[in-house]
Chains A and B, each alone.
Chain A
Amino acid sequence: MNAIVSIRNLSKTYATGFEALKRVDLDIQRGEIFALLGPNGAGKTTLINIVCGIVNGSGGHVAIDGRDIIRDYRVVRAMIGLVPQELATDMFETVWNTVSFSRGLFGKPANPAHIEKVLRDLSLWDKRDNKIMTLSGGMKRRVLIAKALSHEPTILFLDEPTAGVDVELRKDMWEVVRSLRAAGVTIILTTHYIEEAEEMADRVGVIAKGELILVEDKTELMAKLGKKKLVLELQSRLSEIPTGLTTHNLELTEAGSKLVYTYDTKAERTGITVLLNELRAAGIVFKDLTTTQSSLEDIFVDLVRNSK
């Protein structure tokens, strides 16, 4: 195996009794972009914080590149960069000083050329002498990324990197992440946004209520999550689906007043045109139609339910 992060039986129960992680097993492969998806309070941040040394695990074991994160903390932590979810910054410091501070803190000698490159890549070079308190929220987020990259990590954790960030900046960040991956950096990101995982990740893990429900290749998961529903409100109720239409993925709901067609948005043919033609041929008239897509949260709930 080529796992750079190896998590075994990891559990965490806080002093309040809240069980944030329940015996999680996870391997992150070297050089991949792994997206950890999950609703609020699912355990994403706790998982990242344990790996990075901010929170103590209650049980289990984490190894980075084969080394224990507690016993070999010096070697392991020097390999990791963390961009936290909260915009926690030294507001009275300048951008240059705070990024240089991070490099020193992680045990690296000063390297102004590297700091300059990081700041330029993140479009922060013009702001290098500005105090952080004068920057916008998006710029502060970039500063946090610059701090995480200051010591040239080989693994980068991005905890909700694009929360509250505008579309343009989000795309810029995706670009930065891609270039880091091209340079061989392993990236683990948590997100609420399915499109973010879709855009960037190689593999996706879904976590809910402290349990890792599934870990899958992104393409396969997208196919599952890509289901959409077409709801037809019928003029008159049906007692059953006409036999000629049973080949379609149809469901009769609300006492026969609605016909629901589930289809795959990623498929070459959705089958909608054929279905509508056949409905007309069968003499079924509808007065309204809507399409719905399950939200990510709904999908998580379904996944949790199915996993039990």
Chain B
Amino acid sequence: MNLHGVAAIYRFEMGRARRTLMQSIVSPVLSTALYFVVFGSAIGGRIPEIEGVSYGAFIVPGLIMLSLLTQSIANASFGIYFPRFTGTIYELLSAPISPLEIVLGYVGAAASKSMILGLIILATASLFVPLHIAHPVWMLTFLVLTCVAFSLFGFLIGLWADGFEKLQLIPLLIITPLTFLGGTFYSVKMLPPFWQTVSLFNPVVYLISGFRWSFFELSDVSVGLSLALTLAFLGLCMIAVWWIFKTGYRLRT
């Protein structure tokens, strides 16, 4: 195993985050803080508690998920797309490093950045609302699994995209709407029965529900199902990445 290679990619990607601190950390933390101010304090003060949890606290897991999903995808997709765009990918393709090791380096770094970001947002949120985490280990499990799965998904987007526009396409047109409609700001149970059923087709519902359960023991769907679907999504992304490296799709002509 080329551990030096994995470490080189990981360090390189983490170095990129340090260089772009404003974009990587400050900007998502600021936008999440704005959500807390607007929805948590200004509007949330007029919304009654949801199953015994104040509205400000209720939206915290959803807001963290929103950042985790968008930032994992953005970090990982840009990480692999940029070398393809500039041509420096030649070095990666000619190096004695396996596809698994390349994925470990890039996805590991993107997931690490998202985890750090998630924890910073959590710390920021605790400044606005009193937070109690009922199941810290499960909270961390969902956090790690989501970061890894969506970093892998972002890596796939970075391999698939053949322009900067495509890089933004899926996060903007699919992920953000699914997250907003996935129960970030409300409990799916508050919807009319028809829309509750429709929501069950939104995979993000399961992520947010599981994550919220680890905080407040409140969930829209069963925790086991949330965990199973998160793992299934992770598995699907792994298979897709494996196929891409096996066939050389978009990498080797």
Contacts and interface: CB of A to CB of B under 8 A. Distances in A.
Real complex partners, A and B? yes
Interface of A: 14-15, 52-56, 73-78, 80, 82, 84, 86, 88-93, 97, 100-109, 147
Interface string B137-168: 00000000000000000000000000000000
Nearest to B92: A105
A107 B252 contact: no
B95 A77 contact: yes
A91 B2 CA distance: 25
A288 to B, nearest CB: 50
A106 B96 CA distance: 6
Interface stretch (B34-42, B83-91, B204-212, B219-227): B83-91
A56 B253 contact: yes
Interface in B79-120: 86-88, 90-98
B5 A105 contact: yes
A73 B88 contact: no
Contacts of A77: 94-96
Contacts, number: 82
B221 to A, nearest CB: 43
A276 B90 CA distance: 57
A107 B91 contact: no
B86 A88 contact: yes
Contact of B7 (A56, A88, A104): A104
20 contacts: A52-B94, A55-B252, A76-B96, A77-B94, A77-B96, A78-B96, A82-B94, A84-B87, A88-B86, A88-B88, A93-B15, A101-B8, A104-B7, A105-B91, A105-B95, A105-B97, A107-B2, A107-B95, A107-B97, A109-B4
Nearest to A72: B96
B86 A107 contact: no
A252 to B, nearest CB: 51
A147 B91 CA distance: 9
